């Protein structure tokens, strides 16, 4: 292994963090606007940071308990240290992104006074801070611990703790943030839009600040932690499999780290490609950044493969990953953008009421699983056989996953752009800025809905490939050979059923949490309309803090059970039923979790944009019966796309990481 080259990986991570700091400074240089705008932004900042602080304090307690469990299981001090470092790094990425996003929103709103191009630049650079911080910390932590622990094949096993720590934070950030954001959003919409007939982000709505806070904790901190964990876990999976073929390819462990290092440089360069042309096409401007990152990465991958592996077939593996990424983005946009048939069909169905809207939305969500599964399946087969199959084939699949994640920096920037522009629109509405300013923020926000959906599809696709590589490593560690995981074995079948059940059970708990919390928000907003005189006339301000407090407490309280499901069930199955049942469980959760995540995120995104179509003037526009039906559909879709669906992504990987981390305990335990 080229030890000198190995140091390029942590260096690339540091460079990414430095550029995140540069972009943060550039964003903060912009004028935050009027005193009223700053006051609104300050309330959002205060609520977001207060929630994160409470969330991470709660997670810290869980982490300490798990640290004790790992100590009792004799996993070793290095693994436990890595576990805490992974958790802290993931939390830090969330903090960095959140701090900038809640400050970029008001600056984007103020820049919107000057025009679309100026506002777009601030919003995207704000998102780029989160993106580069995520990939920088992920690569720095993974490569750094690998080097510290000796840079040998055995060292990779010690770094698994780092990945598990990242997975833990990701799961809680996704679940807690998702409950917060959707409970606030649903509660505010049900009373504001349907009952009171006031616009979204109207300052008379007591839930509006909680809604804006939720956008940040759900999509900035939540998605940041999600893709941080996906990046780390996928890199570890490739390195673990690389250790199994190191006698054939001595740089097999180094190779995925070098691909990640090159991709960071590509992402930094790609940020400067995001500029609006004279046609004012925002989506085109954002996709220029994604395309630049993919093209530059692909070119770099060729030379890295030739230099390190001496077998250009692995370049084809990486190229397959890039193609999967592009196709997942295209397919997700097709199902969630208001320009295409699926969203238009939901909007049209709203003319006959909420029932037909719900039916059509569910149909679109279910249909949307087809093409992604075809793409992922084709990619898996192509990556496996392009190098001849066997263990090399499994390693090739992990390289495809690494290549797919090469654009993570720019993809997270797209995602964080969404809540920044959404908040900017809310601030413009609440501060009574001119209609021309609101038109600019609305244009930015409408694209933000699509970018958030696209990033979720990207995250789910990469998770599927990464989870497959993790599963391969688990079977190797516990000695499960080819053909052993047969449906003829009742333990395997039971494991499959339990694994398939877990996404349903997990989604039921998280959906119920959103519904229950939204109920509390609805009652609080109704109470304020009823008991505080002058709110509807605009002479008295609502008590925004009450709703923020409701959703904060509920999100912290309700995220415990999903966490228990993710950790306790695989441990129980592995210890009581044994490694074969646990192998079946992993297969079940990967397959069912992937389908459900795609259905929920795409269906929810389509419902959201169908409502936007009607709000743009179609089928009677705002206030029409079709609009009321579309709001109901969007209300159902909200926890689909922002709570349960995205949280299935870290659930799959947490379960796989538990299986790998405690694999030594499962070898001789259980019934077989």
Q: How far is CA 388 from the centre of its chain?
A: 33
Is the pTM higher than 0.75? The answer reads yes
**pLDDT above 70 covers what percent of the chain?**
98
Distance CA 418, CA 451 (A): 7
User: What pLDDT is stored for residue 453 in this prediction?
Assistant: 78
418 is written with which tokens? 């969404």
Distance CA 384, CA 609 (A): 37
pLDDT band at 337 (very low <50, low <70, confident <90, very high): confident
pLDDT digits (tens, 9 = 90+) for 65-110: 889 988 888 888 899 999 999 999 988 888 887 888 889 989 999 9
Token pair 């044994």 in the structure block, residue: 578
Task: Catalogue the long-range contacts made by 207-210 (C-beta closer than 8 Å, 24 or more residues apart).
Answer: 207/521, 207/524, 207/525, 207/547, 208/426, 208/430, 208/544, 209/40, 209/43, 209/44, 209/47, 209/544, 209/545, 209/547, 209/548, 210/47, 210/180, 210/184, 210/521, 210/544, 210/547, 210/548, 210/550, 210/551
Distance CA 588, CA 504 (A): 12
Pick the closest to residue 600 from 459, 470, 467, 496 (CA basis): 459
Residue 24 has pLDDT above 80, yes or no: yes
User: What pLDDT is stored for residue 3 in this prediction?
Assistant: 62
Distance CA 301, CA 297 (A): 6
671 vs 491, more confident: 491
216 vs 139, more confident: 139
Residue 1 has pLDDT above 60, yes or no: no
Half-sphere exposure of 252 (CA within 13 A, CB side): 23
User: What pLDDT is stored for residue 226 in this prediction?
Assistant: 79
Neighbouring C-beta atoms of residue 64, cutoff 10 Å: 11
Pick the closest to residue 252 from 260, 263, 262, 241 (CA basis): 241
Average pLDDT over the chain reads 88
Distance CA 70, CA 668 (A): 18
Q: How far is CA 164 from the centre of its chain?
A: 17
Under 8 Å between Cβ of 329 and 458: yes
235 is written with which tokens? 């890199």
What single string gives the DSSP state of each residue in 156-169? HHHHHHHHHHHHHH
Q: Which residues are CB-contacts of 133 (< 8 A; sequence separation ≥ 6)?
A: 16, 17, 20, 92, 93, 96, 97, 224
User: What pLDDT is stored for residue 370 in this prediction?
Assistant: 94
Distance CA 221, CA 557 (A): 18
Pick the closest to residue 188 from 177, 173, 201, 169 (CA basis): 201
Residue 49 has pLDDT above 60, yes or no: yes
Distance CA 381, CA 324 (A): 12
pLDDT band at 487 (very low <50, low <70, confident <90, very high): confident
What single string gives the DSSP state of each residue in 395-452? HHHHHHHHHHGGGHHHHHHHHHHHHHHHHHHHHHHHTT--HHHHHHHHHHHHHHHHHH
Distance CA 495, CA 500 (A): 8
196 is written with which tokens? 């009171």
Under 8 Å between Cβ of 232 and 459: no
Token pair 């996404």 in the structure block, residue: 503
Under 8 Å between Cβ of 642 and 518: no
User: What pLDDT is stored for residue 136 in this prediction?
Assistant: 93
User: What pLDDT is stored for residue 376 in this prediction?
Assistant: 93
Is 545 exposed, middle or buried, given 0-12, 13-18 or 19+ CB atoms closer than 10 A? middle
Q: Which residues are CB-contacts of 547 (< 8 A; sequence separation ≥ 6)?
A: 184, 187, 188, 206, 207, 209, 210, 521, 524, 525
Under 8 Å between Cβ of 32 and 150: no
Largest interatomic CA distance in the chain:
77
Pick the closest to residue 257 from 49, 54, 8, 534 (CA basis): 8
User: What pLDDT is stored for residue 151 in this prediction?
Assistant: 84
Dihedral sign computed on CA atoms, order 336, 339, 345, 346? positive
User: What pLDDT is stored for residue 595 in this prediction?
Assistant: 94
What single string gives the DSSP state of each residue in 218-267? IIIIIHHHHHHHHHHHHHHHHHHHHHHSTTT-TTTTHHHHHHHHHHHHHH
Average pLDDT value for residue range 288-299: 92
Distance CA 380, CA 388 (A): 13
User: What pLDDT is stored for residue 670 in this prediction?
Assistant: 61
Q: Which residues are CB-contacts of 56 (< 8 A; sequence separation ≥ 6)?
A: 91
Is 132 exposed, middle or buried, given 0-12, 13-18 or 19+ CB atoms closer than 10 A? buried
User: What pLDDT is stored for residue 148 in this prediction?
Assistant: 92
Give CA angle at 498 (494, 504), nearest 5°.
Answer: 150
pLDDT digits (tens, 9 = 90+) for 362-404: 999 999 999 999 999 999 999 999 998 888 999 999 999 999 8
Lowest mean pLDDT among 215-229, 312-326, 568-582: 215-229
Distance CA 237, CA 253 (A): 10
């Amino acid at each position: 292994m080229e030890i000198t080259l190995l140091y390029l990986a942590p260096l690339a991570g540091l460079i990414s963090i430095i550029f995140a700091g540069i972009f943060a400074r550039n964003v903060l240089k912009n004028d935050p606007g009027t005193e009223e705008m700053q006051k609104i932004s300050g309330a959002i900042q205060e609520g977001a940071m207060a929630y994160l602080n409470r969330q991470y304090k709660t997670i810290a307690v869980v982490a300490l308990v798990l640290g004790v469990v790992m100590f009792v299981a004799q996993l070793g001090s290095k693994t436990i240290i890595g576990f805490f470092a992974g958790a802290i790094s993931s939390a830090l990425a969330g903090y960095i992104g959140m701090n900038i996003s809640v400050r970029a929103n008001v600056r984007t709103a103020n820049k919107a006074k000057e025009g679309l191009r100026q506002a777009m630049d601030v919003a995207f650079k704000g998102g780029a801070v989160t993106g580069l911080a995520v990939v920088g910390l992920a690569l720095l932590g993974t490569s750094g611990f690998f080097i510290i622990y000796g840079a040998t094949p055995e060292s990779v096993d010690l770094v698994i703790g780092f990945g598990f720590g990242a997975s833990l934070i990701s799961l809680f950030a996704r679940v807690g943030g998702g409950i917060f954001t959707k409970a606030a959003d649903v509660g505010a919409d049900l009373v504001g839009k349907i009952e009171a007939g006031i616009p979204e982000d109207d300052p008379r709505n007591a839930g509006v600040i909680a809604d804006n806070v939720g956008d940040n904790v759900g999509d900035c901190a939540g998605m940041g932690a999600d893709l941080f964990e996906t990046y780390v876990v996928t890199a570890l999976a490739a390195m673990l499999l690389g250790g199994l073929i190191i006698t054939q390819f001595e740089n097999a462990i180094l190779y995925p780290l070098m691909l990640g290092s090159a991709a960071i440089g590509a992402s930094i360069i790609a940020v400067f490609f995001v500029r609006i042309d004279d046609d004012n096409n925002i989506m085109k401007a954002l996709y220029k950044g994604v395309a630049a990152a993919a093209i530059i990465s692909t070119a770099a991958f060729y030379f890295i493969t030739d230099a390190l592996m001496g077998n250009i077939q692995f370049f084809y593996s990486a190229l397959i990953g890039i193609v999967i990424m592009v196709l997942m983005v295209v397919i997700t946009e097709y199902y969630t953008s208001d320009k295409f048939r699926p969203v238009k069909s939901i909007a049209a169905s709203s003319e006959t009421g909420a029932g037909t809207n719900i039916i059509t939305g569910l149909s679109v969500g279910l249909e949307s699983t087809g093409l992604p599964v075809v793409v992922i399946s084709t990619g898996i087969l192509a990556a496996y056989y392009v190098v001849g199959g066997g263990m090399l084939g499994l390693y090739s699949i992990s390289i495809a996953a690494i290549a797919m994640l090469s654009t993570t920096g720019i993809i997270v920037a797209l995602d964080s752009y969404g809540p920044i522009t959404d908040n900017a629109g809310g601030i413009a509405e609440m501060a009574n800025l001119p209609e021309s300013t609101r038109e600019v923020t609305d244009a930015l926000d409408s694209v933000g809905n699509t970018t958030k959906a696209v990033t979720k599809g990207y995250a789910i696709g990469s998770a599927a490939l990464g989870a497959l590589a993790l599963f391969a490593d688990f079977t190797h560690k516990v000695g499960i050979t080819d053909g052993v995981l047969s449906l003829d074995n009742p333990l395997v079948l039971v494991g499959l059923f339990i694994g398939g059940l877990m996404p349903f059970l997990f989604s039921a708990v998280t959906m119920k949490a959103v519904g229950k919390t939204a109920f509390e928000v609805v009652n609080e907003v109704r109470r304020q309309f009823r008991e505080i005189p002058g709110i509807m006339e605009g002479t008295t301000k609502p008590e925004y803090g009450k709703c923020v407090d409701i959703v904060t407490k509920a999100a912290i309280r309700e995220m415990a059970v999903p966490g228990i499901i993710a950790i306790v069930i695989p441990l129980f199955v592995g210890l009581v039923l044994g490694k074969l049942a646990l192998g079946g469980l992993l297969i079940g959760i990967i397959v069912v979790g992937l389908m459900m995540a795609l259905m929920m995120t795409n269906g929810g995104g389509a419902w959201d944009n169908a409502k936007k179509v009607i709000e743009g003037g179609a089928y009677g526009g705002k206030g029409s019966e079709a609009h009321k039906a579309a709001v109901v559909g969007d209300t159902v879709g909200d926890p689909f796309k922002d709570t349960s669906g995205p949280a299935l992504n870290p659930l799959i990987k947490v379960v796989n990481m538990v299986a790998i981390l405690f694999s030594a305990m499962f070898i001789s335990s259980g019934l077989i």
